[in-house]
Structure 1
Amino acid sequence: MGHGDRTALVTGGARGIGAEICRQLADRGLKVLVAARKREAAEEVCGRIGPAAVPLALDVSSAVSVAEAVNEAVGRFGAIDVLVNNAGVSLDASRTALNLDEEALHATLETNLLGAWRLAGAVVPGMVRAGYGRVVNVTSSYGSLALMDSGRHPTYRVSKTALNALTRMLAAEVAGTGVLVNAADPGWTRSGMGGPSAPRGPEEGADTPVWLATLPEGDGTTGGLFADRRPLPW
């Protein structure tokens, strides 16, 4: 089965890196579900990409929304072969580890960790049954324990460290089933989160997630953290 027979679901697909991931996956022949909290925003991206892209209303912070969106997607397309957990928030750029904002922590974990976890729980069992799947968790080197050298952005960092752990656990749980689970660090990229002064464009930021989302059959790359298609330390 080629990419043209595959369906990908990309969360946070309405802007920035997410929209570029959607475009690049569509260019590779996949049907792409552009998932965003506001369907209108997803529709705008789909209009730019073309008929390979389909809008999907999805709020990753809501278990009900996740269940409804996945049911809708599976009902229309039969399967979700690729899941890119790209939706994320950064709410505490001015904080440090000794200056915790508990509300920001809960809101950050709700999207960055639980959102990805909910989607995996809803989508991965179907991948296992089909014997094929690609899961990409868009993370950050800020979540790498090996590279942790600052207390800045504390809730964002903790959320990404937790997402990295989830990546490892999911990869181990589905090892040998044909489902590959990896984490991608897009780097500091110009986007709503990265800001206008970031050195990388969305095309660069999307490259590693798209590479992991389209790993060929027979490739055993799983349970890894990658930046610029190269392994990073956990």
Structure 2
Amino acid sequence: MRSVLKKVNYKDIILFVLIVFLFFWGYQSWTENKQYEEYLSHDMSNELSKVVYGSQQTQSILEEVISTEKLTVEQAENLSRGYMRIVQYAQKYETVADHFLEKIDKEAFSNKTANLAADCGYYFMRLSDDLNQPISLDQTEIEKYKTLKKFSDAWYQTAQVKLQKKSHSTLKESGISSDLWIEYLLALQNDTVEIAKKHMPEHFDEENIDSYLKDGSMDK
């Protein structure tokens, strides 16, 4: 009888220890995930200004280029940096939404904004390497720069409407688990697709914005 009780007690102890272990393991995992979510929320809120700045930077430079009908080496370099900044954070938001929140339908969403900005960024990077002096732009080229500016205008406006008008504390409190960042990504994509289909449909359908920029005489 005593041996039976010992055996039962031993099993109870093992079960109790296992339950305690699973409880603490689950609690620790939950705490780590919560801390990481808070870190990402804080990080993305802080980086919002960089996304807005990237759109503003390309806006301002393109407006100057269109006005003067000239492109300098410095302007090409700054355009490349501005576009690549947009790429960096658009991709980061997509990664968070896809891998951490699992709220992005990959069949319905592709990061057109990041793809287009990357093409523009690399184009102006190569152009800045080739330029030795300012180049004059013809009317065809100016129209293309006007199209690029439409993207920057739309991206900046979307950030203003979706995110910028909210306080920093509100963005952090809403956290990455909210639909705020998803709505922002989808709004960016809608802007990009709408403008591209209207102004460069044959190139955008092929996801080859670089060919649109090179088509004609933009490369001097």
Give TM-score, length-normalised by structure 2.
Answer: 0.31
Structure showing the higher strand proportion among its residues: 1
Give TM-score, length-normalised by structure 1.
Answer: 0.30
With a CA cutoff of 8 Å and minimum separation of 6, indicate the structure with the bigger relative contact order. 2
Structure showing the higher helix proportion among its residues: 2
Q: Which has the larger radius of gyration?
A: 2
